[in-house]
Chains A and B, each alone.
Chain A
Amino acid sequence: MSALLDIKNLHARIGDKEILRGVDLDVRRGEIHAVMGPNGAGKSTLNAVLTGRSDYEVTEGTALFDGKDLLAMSPEERSWAGLFLSFQYPVEIPGVSITAFMKAAVNERRKAAGLPEMKAGDFLKLLREKMALVKMKPEFAKREVNVGFSGGEKKRNEIFQMAMLSPTLSILDETDSGLDVDALKIVAEGVKSLQTPEKSVIIITHYSKLLEYIHPDVVHVLKEGRIVATGGDELIEAIETSGFDQF
């Protein structure tokens, strides 16, 4: 099967500093990939470039998503094409309820596809169904997006949005080392319950903790801006015992 995400020789910098120096990465449909690496390896930059943050500049290379030029798309176009980014630190949006937020997300996507807005009744049905699927309490629908949420509630809200948008590729940003185990379990359970043979996931992480709960098919080690090793479980074990210096 052809790759869902096909990254070739990707170089990127912030200001004058080159951070990605030729990343190659192939993710096929149905696969779960982990990208691991020490601090400063380029994990955050890779994430930022794939999701379309404007502060990074791609200087060389390509990234095709489902055959289309990902790097030429705006963040919202990437979402419409089926990409989803789960934030490590989801942003608070005071004054906007989860319902209003998701309604905008769902209808903006439909508008882009030339479809009419979803009927209010159908939308609420979908909302309730997905909330139940990710075990989110129904009263959250009225809460302001992430305002006053605990770490675990924020994560559940990310997974809920993932369920609502049903992306073909999800990128989970867990780059920080200060990971909350309960929040990780929520993410892992959510990802597993949403996984299908058509969907792919990339987990970007520093530590192997999350990978105890979500089993990746392929593991990559990112170091100094390049993928320096690709393999399976044996890589996770090697990192656990001897760290990243061996690569």
Chain B
Amino acid sequence: MGHGKYLDPIPAEKQVVTVGSGERLEFSYVILPGESRELDLVIDLVGEGAEVDVKCLYLSRNGDRVRIRILVHHRAPGCHSHQLVCGIAATGADVRFDGRIVVAPGAQQTEAYQENHNILLSEGARVETLPSLEIYADDVKCSHGATVGQLDADALFYMRSRGISEAEAKRLQMLSFLSPVIPAGREEEVTAALFSLPS
């Protein structure tokens, strides 16, 4: 639940994407190794039944500073939002995800989901995740989740025991982890970028 009084979360000077009644928008971002980026996305669901889907993938290595800020404001009833941010950080990467969902009073039948999953390839990578959910309506379905983990040793062993080399097993697992956020048609580009991440 929201703490205290509801305040419009969107500052007046902010650039905002508004989604009107019955509209559906999709956003997809790919941040590749060697890219430092500040992504600042503010979405205002202003019309009844508006929908938004945000997917973001990052692959970051030494020297990359990535800031991903996403605010989804459910202003009207019956709106749906999905945010999925997945990424892999190698040594020296500095990544921060700041995701916020605000459900305004009266925005009933809201469905809002936010997930942020991160894999650290070494202890020298830094990932901070700050998911938040503020709800001022009572008939809503909302969830958020964040994980920061490593490659799955059991799955790597399983693949290696079938004759897949360690490097290829890692690459397959990273692709598998990223697959929900890889935009159609960019599979090869992402696969190639995985090779430029130091393990």
Contacts and interface: CB of A to CB of B under 8 A. Distances in A.
Given A87-B158, A91-B154, A91-B155, A108 B163 contact: yes
A210 B46 CA distance: 62
A100 B169 CA distance: 12
Interface stretch (A75-83, A196-204, A218-226, A239-247): A75-83
Contacts of B166: 74, 76
Contact of A76 (B154, B165, B172, B175): B165
A105 B162 CA distance: 6
Given A93-B176, A94-B176, A96-B175, A75 B160 contact: yes
B158 A91 contact: yes
A76 B176 contact: no
A104 interface: yes
Given A80-B163, A104-B168, A165-B163, A75 B157 contact: yes
Count class of interface residues, chain B: 20 to 34
B158 A105 contact: no
B155 A108 contact: no
A93 B152 CA distance: 10
A85 interface: yes
A51 B158 CA distance: 10
Count class of interface residues, chain A: 20 to 34
B122 interface: no
Given A79-B163, A104-B168, A105-B163, A95 B175 contact: yes
A125 interface: no
B164 interface: yes
Nearest to B180: A95
Nearest to A104: B164
A80 to B, nearest CB: 6
Contacts of A112: 163, 165
A52 B163 CA distance: 12
Contacts of B160: 52, 74-76, 79
A100 B172 CA distance: 9
Interface of A: 51-53, 74-76, 78-80, 84-85, 87, 90-96, 100-101, 104-106, 108-109, 112, 161, 165
Closest 9 CB pairs of A and B: A95-B176, A79-B163, A95-B179, A75-B160, A91-B158, A105-B162, A109-B163, A76-B160, A96-B176
